[in-house]
Each structure stands twice: as structure tokens, then as C-alpha cells.
Amino acid sequence: MRPVLVVIAHGSRDPRHAATVHALVERVRAERPGLRVETGFLDFTIPSVPAVLESLAAEGVRDVVALPLLLTRAFHAKADIPAVLREAPRRLRIRQADVLGPSPLLLAALERRLYEAGLTPADKSSTGVVLASAGSTDPEAIAVIAEIAREWRHTGWCAVRPAFASASLPRTEEAVRELRALGCARVAVAPYVLAPGFLPDRIARGAAGADVLADVLGPAPEVARLLVERYDGARAPMLAAVGA
């Protein structure tokens, strides 16, 4: 049997967060019919990750791919999730998949959201974009966001600047002002976040001076395809280990 995919989300007191995660998981199920997909949350929301893993073990499930619903390899991916997985029932064979970013599919999803917000491909050369992420104290995660912004700039945008809702600078509103000063005809803010919540709301407030504010990535089809890719990448060594 195929390993069960357990999507591990951060969780939030904001009910929009869980609703968006569940919508994304439903799109993953549609993308890979027959794949069992469960969802667990690290905090605030039920079911918790340990509860999901205990339930699977009680059913007799053997193999699990644990997929962090995270865009960068920061503290949650490096510490929190491995710690939770180490406490899982021993009968489970668990492989932790890679985080989602960086990936060309995420850039495609970002552009989808910008076009849904009113931009067109013809606007790229005259539009500056703020790549607005939640932020992190992890230097590796910050460096990855900066590199994504540099790469995205080369696809035809007037300019792309990273911004952060917490922990790091610049803030969204500062990046918007910088793009105005550069002379971009219009400024758009692209939230590099998966679901609504406290920090995405802060990004939205910081986008007050922009011309366009895109939606969160959420259940974009490109994100669903990326989850399936990460699942396949993690389960390949598991299949090889059992000679499948």
C-alpha cells in the first residue's frame, strides 16, 4: 500500500487558516485520486499531529510521509516537526518530506494570484512586486526568500523586493515605498504565505500603499501539485527500502 500522506500545518486561532489548509488538502486528493491524505496541526487547531499519528498506528498503518506545510526550512521544519515525529508510535515508519520552497511551482502560484488580483502578463515590465513573507529569525530562511526575489525579478518584473511581517526587515510598507522610489509604474504585493492569519493580515495592512494586493497562496493548483511532488520524492526511498 502507498504510504499515507500526513500534511503538517502550523495551526492558528484564526479559523480561516484551518479552512484554507483543508481546501488545499482536498485539492491534493483530487490531484492524486486514491492517495490517503490526513491533516495534523502543530498548535491551536485539532487534530494535533500526535493524535493523527496515534490514530493511523491504531488502524494498522505502517508507512507515513510527513509533509511540512512550510515554505522555508526554518525552526518548525528543523526542530518542532522532527521532535513530534520522534514521539510517534514505533510501529510507524515515517519519512519527513522536504518543505515546499523554493520551487518554480510556487512562483507560478504567486503569479496566478497576482493575475487574479487584476494584473496581466503585459503589466510585468512596469510593475514592482513585494514578495511578502511571514518572516523568520533563521538566516537560512531569510536568505532563501531574498534569492527567490532575485530569481523572480529575472522573469520580467520591473523589480522584486523581499519583505517580512515579523522578525526581519524590511516590512511590507517599506518595500512598497522603495519600489515607488525606483519609479515602478505600479506596485503589487504578493503574500508568500499559505493561509490567512495574524501575520498575513499584517502584510495586508502594510500593502495599503500598493496598487495591487494578491491573495494568499492557499489551494492554488500549483501548490497542490507541489505537495504531490514532495510526497513522491519522500516515498521513493521508502519503496526502494522494501523492494517495491
Q: Which of 162-166, 220-224, 238-242 has the lowest mean pLDDT?
A: 238-242
What does the mean pLDDT of the chain come to?
Answer: 95
Q: Is the pLDDT of residue 243 over 80?
A: no
Task: Say what the pLDDT of residue 244 is.
Answer: 46
92 DSSP 8-state letter: -
Task: Say what the pLDDT of residue 241 is.
Answer: 60
- Lookup: cell for 7: 500534511
Confidence (pTM): 0.94
Q: Identify whether the C-beta of residue 56 lies closer than 8 Å to the C-beta of residue 94.
A: no
Task: Say how far apart CA 149 and CA 131 lie, in whole Å.
Answer: 7
Task: Say what the pLDDT of residue 242 is.
Answer: 55
- Lookup: cell for 183: 519609479
Query: pLDDT (tens digit, 9 = 90+) per residue, 151-195?
Result: 999 999 999 999 999 988 999 999 999 999 999 999 999 999 999
Query: pLDDT (tens digit, 9 = 90+) per residue, 71-126?
Result: 998 877 888 999 999 999 999 999 999 999 999 999 999 999 999 999 999 999 99
